[in-house]
Amino acid sequence: MGTQEQMTKSVLLTGGFGNIGGRFAAHLRDLGVEGVKLSSRSNRDSPPWAPSSRVVKCDLLNPQSLREVVSGTDIIFHFAALNDRDCIADPQHAYDVNVIGTQNLVNAAIESGVRRIVYMSTIHVYGSPLVGHVSESSPTIPSHPYGVTHLEAERVLTNRSASIESVILRSGNGFGYPMTFDVDIWHIIVNDLCVQAVREKRLVLRSPSNIERNFITISDICSALFHCGFKLNLDRSTDTFNLGSKSSRTLREMADLVAKCCETRFGYRPPIVESVPETPQLTHLEFDSEKLRATNFSTQEEFEFEIDQMLKVARSHYEK
């Protein structure tokens, strides 16, 4: 490991059993990072993908539990947040968890002398529709509670920049296989298409097929997190970076890719059904991530590998 990794006392992953948290814990295991703590709201054993990690029970809305959890920690990777569906179902609870919870975590981190927090934010802080050129200097005008609460959590970090280092990653549309099927992530579009390919043997697009999104694999997200936590030298105490692939793709292009991977793995190519017409509106999206790439980070964009693994996980689940 490099010098900075050797200096690290311990690493805390909030939401350590979630989609990104689980994959990142396995990523750190593969890189030989020691002293990893995974937070959970319940008592759990260390997972098989990170057997040397320590599971710590914590509640973002309980400041005392947070102080105990962050004690002795050098870097925090903050993933714990309500997903988009839960945010729209209960905006007040979303605010409590995503914003007040982040505020409690930051306060505990500062008290305990944590060096850096890496916060997983979202492209949706830029609002909707996501079209045209989007850089870190673009206006942030979210309307959905998911984007609103993530932007408010970002402000918690930037307002405390004099007391703790923080890196904010505004991720594009992440997709990829979870460490276990029961992680609540199968509703997002690429993951959903993989489930459809296995269960229905056809792919139904429920949004206009010509809409562009910037898709990024969970593998690339994990690489970016490691880069920002362990390798990135900050020019200032807090900085914000877009995290996306080099170019956007339409929903139809992603469905075609899922169908192709399904044919390769299972021997059949599911037909694609466009249940709504294409939109005549502007759909091109240029999600500018050059600022992060300028720090010597690059994406691998192994879309087919990620989709193939999702198909494998979905088939294993539904064939039980």
Tens digits of residue pLDDT in 78-119: 999 999 999 999 999 999 999 999 999 999 999 999 999 999
Is the predicted pLDDT of residue 13 greater than 70, yes or no?
yes
Tens-digit pLDDT profile for residues 290-311: 999 999 999 999 999 999 999 9
Give the pLDDT confidence score for residue 2 in this predicted structure: 40
Please state the pTM of the whole predicted model. Answer: 0.96
The set of residues, in sequence order, having a beta carbon less than 8 Å from that of 93 and lying 6+ positions away, is 82, 86
* CATH 3.90.25.10 location in the chain: 189-213+247-318
Is the predicted pLDDT of residue 252 greater than 60, yes or no?
yes
- Look up tokens 């990777």; give the residue: 77
User: Average per-residue pLDDT in the chain?
Assistant: 95
Give the pLDDT confidence score for residue 7 in this predicted structure: 55
Is the predicted pLDDT of residue 3 greater than 90, yes or no?
no
Q: Supply 83's token pair.
A: 């997903």
Looking at domain 189-213+247-318, which CATH architecture does it have? Alpha-Beta Complex (3.90)
Three-class secondary structure assignment of the chain: CCHHHHHCCCEEEECCCCHHHHHHHHHHHHCCCCCEEEEECCCCCCCCCCCCCEEEECCCCCHHHHHHHHCCCCEEEECCCCCHHHHHHCHHHHHHHHHHHHHHHHHHHHHHCCCEEEEEEEHHHHCCCCCEEECCCCCCCCCCHHHHHHHHHHHHHHHCCCCCEEEEEEECEEECCCCCCCCCCCCCHHHHHHHHHHHCCCEEECCCCCCEECEEEHHHHHHHHHHHHHHCCCCCCEEEEEECCCCCEEHHHHHHHHHHHHHHHHCCCCCEEECCCCCCCCCCEEECCHHHHCCCCCCCCCHHHHHHHHHHHHHHHHCC
Tens-digit pLDDT profile for residues 174-229: 999 999 999 999 999 999 999 999 999 999 999 999 999 999 999 999 999 999 99
Contact 89, 139 (CB under 8 A): no
CA atoms of 98 and 92, how far apart (whole Å): 10
Task: Give the C-alpha distances (Å, rounded to integers) separating 242 from 83, 176, 294, 311, 317.
Answer: 19, 19, 12, 28, 34
Is domain 8-126+136-175+216-243 classified as CATH 2.40.50.180?
no
Tens-digit pLDDT profile for residues 33-85: 999 999 998 889 999 999 999 999 999 999 998 999 999 999 999 999 999 99
Give the pLDDT confidence score for residue 4 in this predicted structure: 46
Is residue 161 packed enough to be buried (19+ CB in 10 Å), middle (13-18) or exposed (0-12)? middle
Give the pLDDT confidence score for residue 8 in this predicted structure: 61
Tell me what the mean pLDDT of segment 310-319 comes to. 95
* CATH 3.40.50.720 location in the chain: 8-126+136-175+216-243
Give the pLDDT confidence score for residue 1 in this predicted structure: 37
Give the pLDDT confidence score for residue 6 in this predicted structure: 46
Q: Supply 46's token pair.
A: 């260390």
